[in-house]
Structure 1
Amino acid sequence: MALVSALGLDIGRRRIGVAGCDGTGLIATGLTTLQRRSFQDLVADLQHFVTARQAQVLVVGLPLTMDGEEGFQARQVRKVAEGLSQALALPVVYVDERLSSVEAEHLMRAAGHSIVQEKALIDRKAAAIILQRWLDERRSS
């Protein structure tokens, strides 16, 4: 299986967590959290990471409902992700992100971080969890 450089995105209403993977495609790491501003600003911010990391795919967390359905928030995420896919000329793949933010919060609490003050860190960690799920899935298939 060819190595692929990917960016993981946790797209929320206010912030977007961004993660990248190492050259081996084994480990996802949170890179930054972007504040949602204009779409053009978002594209410009992400283009920097796409270029610097030679990203070939966007891995986007899709917030499905607990019964696996796509609700309003999932449709909003798809709309943003498809726009980014076109603007950045990269394919997008979706990963079920149910409970990724909860998992990120648990990891942060275990490390002694304050959840209230660290929303941006949660988004970044959630993006890393989403990307890690995709990397693990690719490796096992």
Structure 2
Amino acid sequence: MSIEVGTKVTGKVTGITNFGAFVELEGGKTGLVHISEVADSYVKDIHDILTVGDEVTVKVMNVGDDGKIGLSIRRAIDKPESEKSASSSYSARKPRAAVKKPTFEKPEDFESKMSRFLKDSDERLTTIKRQSESKRGGRGARRG
């Protein structure tokens, strides 16, 4: 039997790496199931789901010109119609975090802007004076 894209076949897990699992298919050919194609949820460690020697049903995702075969376990599982339509429809998806809309305030008048600027400026000058006094060795010390 030739391996064609889109067909479901059974195979045996022959090796596991940190990026996926190698599955031996009919005819002695070997394909790779990437870790992202093992389960529908996030897989931190593939050893939690698969072990060497497991029989798995996989779907052939691609066959490269160099003979590499890409496989998927999660796409080989038939989902009920209600799950398929729910996962593909936009309205059933999780809503994104609410985007905070900018609030427009009444613009400040010149006097309030000026008083805020002077206050900030005084605070910065006071901080700079304190820092420079401590470096000179005391309060009000004069440079030599």
Give the structure-1-normalised TM-score. Answer: 0.23
Structure number with the bigger relative contact order (C-alpha 8 A, sep ≥ 6) is 1
Question: Which structure is higher in helix share?
Answer: 1
Give the structure-2-normalised TM-score. Answer: 0.22
